[in-house]
Structure 1
Amino acid sequence: MAVILITGAGRGIGAATAKMAARSGYAVAVNYRTRREEAEAVVAEIQAGGGKAVAIQADVSVEGDVVRLFDECDKKLGGLSALVNNAGVLETQSRVEGLTRDRLERIFATNVFGTFACCRQAVQRMSTKHGGSGGAIVNVSSVAARTGSPGEYVDYAASKGAMDTLTIGLAHEVAQEGIRVNGVRPGFIYTEMHADGGEPDRVQRVKQFVPLRRGGTAEEVASAILWLLSDASSFTTGAFIEIAGGR
């Protein structure tokens, strides 16, 4: 059974991806930082449907936690074949003039450094150069990497821009080692993350700026992620799918 590790999988896009991956035949490592009950609920739902899943606590912004996360995944599920870097954080809406160094360090520690660390651990396991059998990585970026998210989340947008650069560079680096690396860029998606920024109903306010005039769902993003992980996208690497309603 193919093994997938999904970071930040206790809610939103991560949880939807975990459930969809299980239905596609993956054994799923559901990573969470603090939302233990939510992660365990995702695992329970997968198991109730006949799938295999485990919840593993780890803060991807902490180097030691990342190493432990992958080691535990190896022990509990077996050799890794897919990674989804979904864990991400944002903070209360702010203009750049109000951003502090501490806030920037928190955002980049998870969204950038954590993604790099997880990619490193995955490549060490998947790469044919290291005796692996290959695999696929999908990084969950954001349309904000293109738009800059002015007046709200320029720091978050910049972190996602860094993730996009990592996606392209790593894709080229490991293309001949059996690993494909791609990204998805969600737009305005109905998830709890907007509450972290101080505006739970943000999608309702901004959906008028989306050509399709609605927000997206976590399941729509998960479908794109699963396609990029599948053999159906075997000639796709270093690419991005935008799930943003045409924005």
Structure 2
Amino acid sequence: MKRTLVTGGTRGIGAAIARRLAADGHSLVLGYLADSEAAASTRDSVRELGAACEIVRADITTDAGIAELFEAAGPITGVVNNAGATYRYAPLVDTPADEIRTTYAVNLVGPTLVARAAVAAMTGAGGVIVNISSGAATLGSPGEYVHYAAAKAGIDALTKGLGLEVASLGIRVVAVAPGLTETDLHASTGDPDRIERMAPQIPLGRASSPDEVAEAVAWLMSEKAGYVTATTLRVAGGR
């Protein structure tokens, strides 16, 4: 039985990943931070697909929150390290220092500690860790969120280094780096028209759907990707 923990697994890309893994027969534990209504809705949609699913409200920026997630999950075969956030689009000089610190806590420090806990949980049995990076990691996102891009570049480095470190334990560590994706992220950061404005810059001429990102995650978690580790798969329309 495949049992997978998905952090930030109840909205946007995380919810799409949960549904896609449910279709592959994964039993799921979905972490979320605040939106209980969305969490319950995603849990119900996953159960309708025939998969066991639990939701856990927990903050991955705290040791207690991470411990709660892994305690609820029990023995696992996979972790999707998806929880993350951005807060505004602005040049770095105009971004408050506390917001920069929070961005690193949510997008790099927390996921690093989740990966650490995942290795401890999988040692002896093996498994797969999929980190969710971002196309911003290599583009730098000048004028928008340089600090977020830097945090996601850290996720790529984490994936490479940890993947090499734990390969002998039968644990694969991989990442998916989505580009412009159709979620409510843009509206929540004050730029609801960003997808329409940015899409012409994408070689394929459009944003991705969360389901397209989820397909990449599902493949990396499957036996078909059994020889893939310590690498990041870009799902960014050529950008």
Where on the TM-score scale, by shorter chain, does this alignment land: which range?
Answer: over 0.9
Which position in structure 1 is the counterpart of 2:139? Answer: 147
Which position in structure 2 is the counterpart of 1:69? Answer: 69
Secondary structure of the corresponding residue to residue 163 of structure 2: helix
Aligned equivalents of 2:188, 2:47: Cα separation in 1: 30
Secondary structure of the corresponding residue to residue 245 of structure 1: coil
Q: How big is the alpha-carbon RMSD for the aligned residues of Structure 1 and Structure 2?
A: 0.9
Q: Which amino acid aligns with 1:202?
A: R
Consecutive aligned runs of 4 or more in structure 1 exceeding 3 Å deviation:
none
Aligned equivalents of 1:49, 1:233: Cα separation in 2: 24
Shift of 1:4: 0.4
Secondary structure of the corresponding residue to residue 56 of structure 2: strand
Instruction: Determine if the alignment matches structure 1 residue 137 to structure 2 residue 129.
Output: yes
Instruction: Determine if the alignment matches structure 1 residue 112 to structure 2 residue 115.
Output: no
- Pairwise mapping of residues 45-194 of structure 1 onto structure 2 (< 5 A)? 45-74=45-74, 79-128=75-124, 133-194=125-186
Secondary structure of the corresponding residue to residue 50 of structure 2: coil
Which position in structure 2 is the counterpart of 1:229? Answer: 221
Aligned equivalents of 2:35, 2:27: Cα separation in 1: 20
Which position in structure 1 is the counterpart of 2:32? Answer: 32
Q: TM-score, normalised by structure 2?
A: 0.98
Deviations 1:192-213, CA, capped at 9 Å, x for gaps: 1112321122111100000110
Aligned equivalents of 1:21, 1:50: Cα separation in 2: 11
The answer to whether the 8 Å contact 1:183/1:239 transfers is: yes
Q: Which amino acid aligns with 1:164?
A: D
Deviations 1:166-206, CA, capped at 9 Å, x for gaps: 11110000000010000111010001111232112211110
Deviations 1:149-180, CA, capped at 9 Å, x for gaps: 01011111011011111111100000000100
Q: Which amino acid aligns with 1:190?
A: E
The answer to whether the 8 Å contact 1:8/1:30 transfers is: yes
Shift of 1:59: 0.9
Q: 1:215 aligns with which of 207, 223, 231?
A: 207
Aligned equivalents of 2:128, 2:66: Cα separation in 1: 18
The answer to whether the 8 Å contact 1:138/1:229 transfers is: yes
Shift of 1:240: 1.4
Which position in structure 2 is the counterpart of 1:11? Answer: 11
Deviations 1:115-159, CA, capped at 9 Å, x for gaps: 01111111001022xxxx100001110010000001011111011
Q: Which residues of structure 1 form unaligned runs of 5+?
A: none
Aligned equivalents of 1:43, 1:244: Cα separation in 2: 28
Q: Which amino acid aligns with 2:164?
A: H
The answer to whether the 8 Å contact 1:10/1:36 transfers is: no
The answer to whether the 8 Å contact 1:148/1:154 transfers is: yes
Q: Which residues of structure 2 form unaligned runs of 5+?
A: none
Shift of 1:72: 1.3
Identity rate, percent = 38
